[in-house]
Structure 1
Amino acid sequence: MPHRVVIFDIGGVVIDSPINAIRDFCQKRQIQDLNRFLFSSQAWAALERGRLDWKDFPEAVLRECQEQGHDGAQLGLEGWQALQLAIVEGGGAPRPAMLHAIDRLRQSGFTVAALTNNFAEGSAALGRLPLLFDHFIESSASGMRKPEPRFYEHALRVIGCEPNEAIFLDDIGKNLKPAAEMGIFTIHVQNSHSEQHLEALRKLQGVVGLHLLPSKL
């Protein structure tokens, strides 16, 4: 069955990821990189499921650090509030090549969806970006998040397609694994340097048989 649906993650795929901003913040504070702890924390999971407000996040994640004896506890509440600001300010710039590809896919008859782990306040900051998609499926609105298999199943129901009709792009390997196991074709978007996401678009071009990269990069 030919592919007719392309599903994009948002942060780290369509827009820049806050990972580098978090890493830079930690280097300036001379503490260990908090990315791994932050994105695996219960507080972050609750935030992305819409069960924790953004304003309450610093206190919740600090408490979790203290309970686990994690280095992040030394930041204190003001430090976590500062990191929260760094997350907002350091990520989110749209990637023009990805926006071009989304437009090209839709013009060519593909259904284009977003499947994103997010939080309500972060979603509001996206402005008109969700309007670029036929379906914009958010963890904070559904109460589910990647890599929970039921979130992918929910997305397929919303879109109205079978797994083997879909292609999914994400920058996190563990988020791709359940999709691949369901029969969705997956593409890993790498972000080790600023232009590496273009390699994923080149792979997508080959799968869908369309030229997706802008003529001028």
Structure 2
Amino acid sequence: MTAMTAMALPPRRVVIFDVGGVVAESPIVAIRLFCQQRQLADLNRFLFSSSAWHRLERAQMAFRDFPEAALKECQERGVQDGINLGLEGWRELLQIIRGVANLRPVMLQAIQRLRQHGFVVAALTNNFAEAKDPSAAAALARFRSLFDHFIESSASKMRKPETGFYQLALDTIGCKAHEAIFLDDIGKNLKPAAAMGIHTILVENNHPEQYLEALEKLQGLVNLQLTDLAAKL
């Protein structure tokens, strides 16, 4: 997409989706449930500020090295529940995070309809770089093809909520901030985008279908029925 094309787009003709917690089920919820089952405090708070986690998302650390690095960081910071989890527990938790990839059909339908009606659709995600078998690689390629642009932390060495990551997205898409709508399930990730002039929508996941409220807001902004559930939203 050229800059000239982007300039021709009416306001808010670009929609940027986070993946986990928006297009797919939330890893945050999976982590919270994992901790509850083991009577541990929610480790999401630790992960949000963990330097090891941030390095993993920037592909500055091998996937296999994260559990040991996370445990060491917990020991250094005095995060007792992370210490109590132990090395094997961290390995188990990472596998659970890795396995949270259940896509939400309603969101996939919304993406398809946006593109059919001329919207530019992008993904902006904090993710991991890891070796995949051929079948997994093929599935990932199919998923990426749903979007016009797929911008990821593991490839760019930047991550949300770094301002440069959002600017990279705008530059890659070829649009201005005021032309874009961004959906994410973490408020901290939305603040820098909003400060840049991007219209933001918080996707909440406190109960299984709460994310549909964000989809309703998106439908109002784009003035388009995005799913067959629209009449119920």
| Fold agreement, TM-score > 0.5 | yes
**Helix, strand or coil at the partner of 1:51:** coil
TM-score by length of structure 1 reads: 0.94
**Helix, strand or coil at the partner of 1:94:** coil
1:175 aligns with 2:185: no
**1:80-99 to 2 correspondences below 5 Å:** 80-89=90-99, 91-99=100-108
Runs of 4 or more, structure 1, over 4 Å off, are: 122-126
The change in CA–CA distance for 1:122 and 1:156 in structure 2 (over 3 A counts) is farther
Q: Deviations over 1:156-210 (max 9, x none)?
A: 0000000011110011111111111111111111111111111111111111111
Q: 1: CA distance between counterparts of 2:207 and 2:153?
A: 27
How many residues are paired up? 216
Q: 2: CA distance between counterparts of 1:179 and 1:23?
A: 26
**Helix, strand or coil at the partner of 1:113:** strand
**Helix, strand or coil at the partner of 1:132:** coil
Q: 1: CA distance between counterparts of 2:94 and 2:11?
A: 42
Gapped runs of 5+ residues in structure 1? none
**1:19-168 to 2 correspondences below 5 Å:** 19-71=28-80, 72-89=82-99, 91-121=100-130, 127=140, 128-168=142-182
Give the drift of 1:212.
Answer: 0.7
TM-score by length of structure 2 reads: 0.88
Q: Partner letter of residue 86 of structure 1?
A: I
Gapped runs of 5+ residues in structure 2? 1-9
The change in CA–CA distance for 1:122 and 1:35 in structure 2 (over 3 A counts) is farther
**Contact 1:201–1:213 (8 Å) recurs in 2:** no
Identical counterparts, % of pairs: 65
What's the Cα RMSD here?
A: 1.7
**Helix, strand or coil at the partner of 2:130:** helix
**Helix, strand or coil at the partner of 2:86:** helix
Instruction: Identify the residue that residue 189 of structure 1 maps to in structure 2.
Output: 203
**Helix, strand or coil at the partner of 1:120:** coil
Q: Which of the numbers 223, 227, 233 marks the counterpart of 1:209?
A: 223
Instruction: Identify the residue that residue 15 of structure 1 maps to in structure 2.
Output: 24
Moved more, 119-128 or 144-153: 119-128
Q: 2: CA distance between counterparts of 1:196 and 1:131?
A: 26
**Contact 2:29–2:205 (8 Å) recurs in 1:** no
Give the drift of 1:213.
Answer: 2.2
